[in-house]
Amino acid sequence: MDESMKKLDAFFNPCSVAVVGATKKIDKAGHVIFKNFATNKLRGVFKGDLYPVNPGEDSILGFKCYPTIKQIPFDVDFIVVIVPAKVVPSIMEEAASKKVKAAVIVSAGFKEVGNKELEEKVIAAAKKGGIRVLGPNCLGIYYSKTGVDSLFLPETKVLTTGEDVIATPRPMPGDIAMLTQSGAFGVAALDYLTGRQMGVSKFVSFGNKCDVTDYEIFNYLLHDEETRVILSYVEDIKHGREFLNVAKKVTAEKPVVVIKAGKSEAGARAARSHTGAIAGSDKIYEAAFEQAGIIRARDMEEFFDAGKVLAMQPPALGNNIGILTDAGGPGVMTVDELEIQGLTVEPFSKETIQKFDQLKADGVILRIAATHNPVDLTGSVTDEQFVTSVDLMFQDPEVDGIIFLGLHHMPGLREKYIDDVAKVACKYRKPLVMCDIGETEMALYTRSRFDRLGIPSYSSPEDAARSMRALVKYGTYLQRTGAAEEYIKGFLQRKNWH
């Protein structure tokens, strides 16, 4: 690890942390953040040293409090700063004299509200002292493994009824890195990812990006074994050329999904007053993402859905999709959306059609079933018919991926098909995504069971189709750059498929 990487590493693996602006007032950000670290230290998750800094307190939550950073008689790697904006430059100067490596500046009131000069003072002090800065106007870092948690939003909230409810949960460990320029979108993402049982490797909130920017964190994550997929909410990207270079290296090994806000004119205006972002021409971003093999999501749902599918399934090495369904209408909806997305649903090869005809002749599947793609086994479907059909479809060399619409409602289905279909999928190198429609008991169970078995499930046909598009986009890119074979090999190994 070179020197610059070591400094970035201090954000995630600090030996010692000072929380500047820590306080006993429980409603304050400075309290919540300090308490995060203190709690994680008690739990044994955060193993570093911890120092609250506040001239007005003697101790906080049992930790000895220091009036200034300077007065801490030990080394300090990493600081989290939550003090009024105008005080931040002097804090940075002090931190420099303490040889602090990394700083998260949570405080707002800089460039985003027109205080450019103040922000430049912070940058100058940090540069002089060799401190890497995340923010200002950000949430900073959440990394479950080392207990670094600079989020000022507490996990639970007390209602007026006195009840304690989960408000800003921290997701379980997993292989998705979540990066965000918007703090609010960041906490919303944590809430979403937790609820959908999607694990997070590292969370980074950039805010105004006065120093550490996208491409450096991308580079850090390129070498991070825990991260397999990167999700990034972006309003603007700085250092475009460096970003492109790094992004290309990343996408050869790890899929990247971006949601770019501020794409419309009014949206760009709103972004300006949000993080001070100069959004620039959307076409330039579009071209850059395309060139770097970054998948751009149209909206929030597609953003998370693409992250899920890329974390769970191998990419598709072609754009012809097979559809297996027990529900005619949703089958048609899936075809429609795939075609809109530029994918195809071509009839199967002769061999596959003959095999399906044989299954009909043998009475294995119903004679009235449609078997030319989509395969519609109708409301009379059984568990066995699904399993036999999906296996047969996987074998067709012209099928590059399969969307499985296994609507649980059909009376002949038990839940056996779930595990059996998932087992078949592991025999092949092609992706499978599934959809079941409904919001009550059996639908929720079916989707969550498929997820657990590694088959990403969706609640609408179009969501499934758009997720398949992400796999096709990524697969096409990998093939173009010659990285497909190695990526898939690594993927199958990691997942322990055949």
Binding to a copy of itself in span 351-370, by CB under 8 A: 368, 370
DSSP-derived 3-state class of residue 236: coil
The stretch among 61-69, 241-249, 327-335, 469-477 that binds a copy of itself (CB under 8 A) is: 327-335
When binding is defined by CB under 8 A, the residue of 224, 376, 400, 451 that contacts a copy of itself is 376
CB-nearer residue toward a copy of itself: 197 or 354: 197
When binding is defined by CB under 8 A, the residue of 180, 251, 382, 385 that contacts a copy of itself is 180
Q: Does 199 bind a copy of itself (CB under 8 A)?
A: no
Considering the complex, what minimum distance in angstroms separates the CB of residue 341 from a copy of itself? 10
Residues 58-87 within binding reach of a copy of itself (CB under 8 A): none
Measure the CA–CA gap between 173 and 262, rounded to whole angstroms. 31
Binding mask 98-117 for a copy of itself (x = CB under 8 A): ----------xx--xx----
Q: CB–CB of 133/210 below 8 Å? A: yes
CB-nearer residue toward a copy of itself: 58 or 346: 346
**In b/e form, how buried is each residue of 190-214, taking b as 16+ CB within 10 angstroms?**
bbbbbeeebebbbbbbbbbbbbbbb
Measure the CA–CA gap between 332 and 329, rounded to whole angstroms. 5
Q: Does 35 bind a copy of itself (CB under 8 A)?
A: no
Residues 238-267 within binding reach of a copy of itself (CB under 8 A): 259, 261-267
CB-nearer residue toward a copy of itself: 234 or 484: 234
Residues 299-318 within binding reach of a copy of itself (CB under 8 A): 299-301
CB-nearer residue toward a copy of itself: 116 or 157: 157
Q: Does 195 bind a copy of itself (CB under 8 A)?
A: yes
β-pair type (140-143, 148-149): antiparallel
CB-nearer residue toward a copy of itself: 410 or 488: 410
Q: Count residues binding a copy of itself (CB under 8 A).
A: 97
CB-nearer residue toward a copy of itself: 50 or 277: 277
β-pair type (200-205, 173-180): parallel
Considering the complex, what minimum distance in angstroms separates the CB of residue 43 from a copy of itself? 20
Measure the CA–CA gap between 374 and 347, rounded to whole angstroms. 8
DSSP 56: T
When binding is defined by CB under 8 A, the residue of 36, 107, 150, 194 that contacts a copy of itself is 194
Residues in Cβ contact with 266 at an 8 Å cutoff, skipping those fewer than 6 apart: none
Measure the CA–CA gap between 262 and 243, rounded to whole angstroms. 19
The stretch among 15-23, 43-51, 86-94, 146-154 that binds a copy of itself (CB under 8 A) is: 146-154
Measure the CA–CA gap between 65 and 50, rounded to whole angstroms. 10
When binding is defined by CB under 8 A, the residue of 2, 117, 362, 441 that contacts a copy of itself is 441
Considering the complex, what minimum distance in angstroms separates the CB of residue 227 from a copy of itself? 22
What is the sign of the dihedral through the CA atoms of 143, 148, 153 and 154? positive
Residues 200-239 within binding reach of a copy of itself (CB under 8 A): 233, 235
Q: Does 53 bind a copy of itself (CB under 8 A)?
A: no
β-pair type (229-234, 256-260): parallel
Residues 396-435 within binding reach of a copy of itself (CB under 8 A): 407-412, 414-416
Chain centroid to Cα 492, Å, comes to 20
- Phi and psi dihedrals of 241, rounded to 5? -65, -45
Measure the CA–CA gap between 15 and 444, rounded to whole angstroms. 43
Of the chain, the end-to-end C-alpha distance in Å amounts to 34
Residues in Cβ contact with 481 at an 8 Å cutoff, skipping those fewer than 6 apart: 248, 252, 293
Measure the CA–CA gap between 216 and 368, rounded to whole angstroms. 57
When binding is defined by CB under 8 A, the residue of 10, 69, 82, 335 that contacts a copy of itself is 335
The stretch among 56-64, 68-76, 326-334, 477-485 that binds a copy of itself (CB under 8 A) is: 326-334
Measure the CA–CA gap between 37 and 327, rounded to whole angstroms. 51
CB-nearer residue toward a copy of itself: 93 or 463: 463
When binding is defined by CB under 8 A, the residue of 100, 327, 468, 471 that contacts a copy of itself is 327
Q: Does 453 bind a copy of itself (CB under 8 A)?
A: no
Residues in Cβ contact with 120 at an 8 Å cutoff, skipping those fewer than 6 apart: none
Residues 465-494 within binding reach of a copy of itself (CB under 8 A): none
Measure the CA–CA gap between 492 and 428, rounded to whole angstroms. 10
